[in-house]
């Protein structure tokens, strides 16, 4: 089964209808038609919630949570293997720690990453990245 890992950047662009939101929507629609899985690291799920909460307040953060649940996105806990791989990425690559968790989750689950965040160029040689801009 095909899988995609939704990065915080792509989820926020979709939520706020920012540039790239249309591409995220197309990817999600194709994923639904193919009955593919959409996953998101619990770390990125928390990052999306805090980013929307900080920018737009509690009501908007709850709407972002509801949006993720409605897609539906499977939230993947950061287990020992994901945490160790994320730590390895952080030590070797110029990426935020949350982005390292997205990359580790995608790699371990065999998923492509959906993002517009250029930090993911760091892992493009080992994980498929679907760029939204």
DSSP 59-119: HHHHHHHHHHHHTT-EEEP--HHHHHHHHHHHHHSS--HHHHHHHHHHHHHT-EEEE--GG
3-state class (DSSP) for residue 41 = strand
33-58: average pLDDT: 96
Q: What is the pLDDT of residue 35?
A: 86
Q: What is the pTM of this model?
A: 0.95
Cβ 120 vs Cβ 113: under 8 Å: yes
Cβ 125 vs Cβ 92: under 8 Å: no
pLDDT higher than threshold 80 for residue 40: yes
CA torsion sign for 70, 133, 129, 34 is positive
Counting DSSP H helices and E strands in the chain, the numbers are 6, 5
CATH number at 3-131: 3.40.50.1010
Each domain of the chain, given as residue ranges in start order, spans 3-131
pLDDT higher than threshold 90 for residue 37: yes
Q: What digits encode the pLDDT tens for the residues 94-128? A: 999 999 999 999 999 999 999 999 999 999 999 99
Q: What is the pLDDT of residue 1?
A: 66
**Paired strand residues for 74:** 39
pLDDT higher than threshold 90 for residue 48: yes
Q: What digits encode the pLDDT tens for the residues 53-99? A: 999 999 999 999 999 999 999 999 999 999 999 999 999 999 999 99
| CA 23-52-26 angle, 5° bins | 10
């Amino acid at each position: 089964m095909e899988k995609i890992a939704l990065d915080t950047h792509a989820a926020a662009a979709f939520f706020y209808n920012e540039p790239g939101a249309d591409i995220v929507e197309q990817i999600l629609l194709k994923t639904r038609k193919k009955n593919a899985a959409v996953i998101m690291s619990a770390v990125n799920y928390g990052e999306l919630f805090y980013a929307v909460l900080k920018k737009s307040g509690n009501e908007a953060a709850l709407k972002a949570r509801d949006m993720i649940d409605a897609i539906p996105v499977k939230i993947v806990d950061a287990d020992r293997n994901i945490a160790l791989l994320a730590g390895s990425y952080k030590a070797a690559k110029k990426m935020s720690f949350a982005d390292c968790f997205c990359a580790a989750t995608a790699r371990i689950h065999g998923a492509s990453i959906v993002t517009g965040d250029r930090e993911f160029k760091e892992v493009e040689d080992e994980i498929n990245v679907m760029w939204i801009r």
